[in-house]
Chain A
Amino acid sequence: MSTALVSESAPAPTAAPRPRPWLLAARILRMEIRHSAFVWCLPLLVVLFIFDPYRTATSYPALWPLRSTVVLNKFWPDMVIFSAGFAAWAGTREGRRNTSDLLGTTARPAWTRQLCSLAGTTFWVVGAFLAGVVAIYVQTSQQVTWGTPPMSPVIVGAVGLIMVCAVAFTLGALFPGRFTAPIVAVALMLVTLAAFRQAVGSTGGPIPVLSPDGSVPDNDYGLFHHTTIGVPIVQVMVFGGITLAAIGLLGLSPRTGGTGWRGALSAIAAGGARLRTAALALCAVGVALLAVGLGLAGTATGSPAGGYEIPSIDSGIISKSIPYTPVCSSAGSFQVCLHPALRSYLTQVTSAMSPAFTELAGLPGAPVRASEVAQTALPRAVLAGNGDGLITNGVYEFTLNNSVALQPDPSLLQDSFQQDIVHAVIVGSVGEIITSSQAGGAATGFQPNTGTLAQQAVEGGLLEALGLQPYQYPNPTPPSGVAAAAAKFAALPAATQHAWLIANLAALKAGTITLAQVP
């Protein structure tokens, strides 16, 4: 046999196929998604979603900023306990099944396996969260008349849940056991509840600012003035920082199969130096983001539009008004204008105000037009006295916050507006905020403007003629003579009442008309 014969018959060796790490990781991720235990709780989550966040959202007025608060106030806390439990469950898997040594012989580092496992659980968590958000937003989009769906609650919620998954997974990997999942779920839920209590209690500090779960804002939140963007940015920074730090810890800690801390800064250290450097860098970036976010959150101040604002980010943004074209309707000689977001209430508000406007038309100081304004544009005394608005230059400027409850009641609208308008024309303002010096320091209180007995009688008579309850004054209650005078005034024909008011309203408001002089 010759060398040439051997060389002719032997085939040329082919190059071995180059491994594609990303394809392997994608295959592991696909398996993790397919076999995730989170699917066990999806039916329960659907029931809880309908039971609480969805029902709450549908009971709110159809306003984008208001209904979007349900995403973080109601839906996000529901997701936390399940996200934490199942992420911790996934993290404990290798420890529970005692397969760490077996898997340690695989070609991929432990960090890759664990990140794929974490990603698989996070996929289902974020997917369920986004599905719920879509359901709420689609339902809202069919009812709202102005605005666009806010994205900041969705982004903050998704990043927050990723943080919960990362922390819970890392805790599960550090402390594997059958009890780890429920204990971690309960512990993280306790942290969420504690942060929520601080947020609604306005205790100060960064925690109330960072809590995604907080109090429900007023109805006109986000309608007249821009909402804060500083708070969502800071929340995403802090949540992202915690996530990166937890993932870095996963890659470093020997308890989780990581590469260990020794030699993390050495480029020439043997055995996984690149991984150690990457994990340490992630930890460092995460801690830095966390520190900066906490620092910014500590600078938060109360926002006049409600909630908090970060001055260094929000300066000049919240104070700017959102331009809009009001929607108006006319009834007789007066016009009522509302923000377009509350277009669906226009007919109700117009019919609620119409009788009072008609009754008081032509009187000195009576309004000729009504226009909705932001609650923050009204004096504090109006809100402290449970009023809806005040008359300025012939225009009744009002807010719908006090009168539009979460479940709008037409009779509530009618009573509150008519009482408010009649009181403003006959008596004047609802009252004033007073500051008094006390032993413990200055204290503010509200002093209602009850008017004279004659003013109370005329006001009561007009309200009785409109078929309404008398104006509710605080103690002491008016003497019985006022009620009798009011009934007598109400019994007069409308033309007689009007004529008397035309002639005597100025003197009545000046306080020179006595109770006996009221017809």
Chain B
Amino acid sequence: MTATDLKKSPSPAAPPAGHVPSAARLLWLHLRSRRVPSALSGLLACGVTLCLGLNFHWFSSGDAAAEVPMLLEAGAAAIVVVTVHSPFGEPEKATGRWLPVLRVGLALVLCGAAIGLMAAGAAVGYDPKADVGLADGTLPVVRNILGFAGVGLLCSLVTGGLLAWIGPLAYQAACQFALIAHYTEPYTWASRPPADRGGWIAAMVAFAIGLIAFTIRGPRTRPSGE
């Protein structure tokens, strides 16, 4: 053996067939720790409920045409924000710099999935000949889910991830009252018309603030793990 042989580093062994890159595996473990597959099932259930409601005329007229979709959108947002809870608690914050990226990415992906599944449910249930469809179209679905999710992410900073569903459900209750009483305040965005600028601004501001705060701070963790 010569010095030249020692300077040459040994060639790396070829990875075995079917080996998953470690980053992908870690990402999948992260998603499983947040119960993302169950969350997607819940979001799918919200979309299916919306589709069935349209098909069977459960909320085809009057205030119900806006109340029930609003409730389902809040439910979808509640499912999204509950996924932020980490089963590892405080020690996870010491794992490195990728955690905020994972947080914001997961929140955005799940919000997109919620919007997509709800829109798909509305599209499947859409029947113009029978005058069946979402009363105000798909735009309010986007606005409401993002706005409620923002409220829920803010709520998670106080209550923790597992109880963050309080925020979206409480906020949609206030919006239901605003809808019945014909209030015009923009912060009751879910009761505003689809193209209402103030409602959109309020919802997007809530989402942006909630997302930024959640990305930086993460959900509250307690010694009990909840």
Contacts and interface: CB of A to CB of B under 8 A. Distances in A.
Interface in A157-196: 177-179, 181-183, 185-186, 189-190, 193-194
Contacts of B35: 177-179
Contacts of B67: 193
Given A179-B39, A193-B64, A194-B58, A40 B163 contact: yes
Nearest to A81: B169
B182 to A, nearest CB: 13
Given A179-B79, A182-B79, A190-B68, A51 B170 contact: no
B71 interface: yes
Contacts of A78: 173
B114 interface: no
A183 B76 CA distance: 9
B72 interface: yes
A89 interface: yes
B177 A181 contact: no
A194 B159 CA distance: 31
Contact of B79 (A41, A96, A183): A183
A24 to B, nearest CB: 23
Nearest to B180: A52
B185 to A, nearest CB: 11
A197 interface: yes
Interface in A81-117: 81-82, 85, 89, 96-97
A412 interface: no
**By DSSP majority rule, is chain B's interface helix, strand, loop, or mixed?**
helix
B146 interface: no
B189 interface: no
Nearest to B159: A40
A44 interface: yes
Contacts, number: 76
A267 interface: no
Interface string B120-160: 00000000000000000000000000000000000000010
Nearest to A78: B173
Interface string B10-51: 000000000000000000000000010011001001000100
Interface residues of A, number: 28
A273 interface: no
Contact of A183 (B42, B58, B64, B83): B42
Given A179-B38, A194-B58, A41 B162 contact: no
A81 B173 contact: yes
Interface in B64-119: 64, 67-68, 71-72, 74-75, 78-79, 82-83, 85
A48 B169 contact: no
A80 B162 CA distance: 19
Nearest to A45: B170
B163 A197 contact: no
A52 B191 CA distance: 15
B170 A41 contact: yes
Interface in A196-220: 197
B174 A48 contact: yes
Contacts of B75: 182-183, 185-186
A465 interface: no
Counting chain A CB atoms within 10 Å of each CB, the highest count among B35, B38, B162 belongs to B162
B189 to A, nearest CB: 16
B202 interface: no
Contact of B71 (A41, A48, A97, A189): A189
B79 A44 contact: no
Contacts of B200: none
A190 B38 CA distance: 21
B213 interface: no
A328 interface: no
Contacts of B85: 178
B159 A85 contact: no
A379 to B, nearest CB: 30
A175 to B, nearest CB: 11
14 contacts: A48-B170, A48-B177, A81-B169, A82-B169, A82-B170, A85-B165, A178-B85, A182-B78, A182-B79, A182-B82, A186-B169, A193-B71, A194-B58, A197-B59
Q: Name the 6 nearest CB pairs between A and B, nearest first.
A: A186-B75, A182-B78, A182-B165, A52-B177, A44-B170, A179-B42
Given A182-B82, A193-B68, A193-B71, 11 more contacts: A40-B163, A44-B170, A51-B174, A177-B35, A178-B35, A178-B83, A179-B38, A179-B82, A189-B71, A190-B49, A197-B59
Interface of A: 37, 40-41, 44, 47-48, 51-52, 78, 81-82, 85, 89, 96-97, 177-179, 181-183, 185-186, 189-190, 193-194, 197
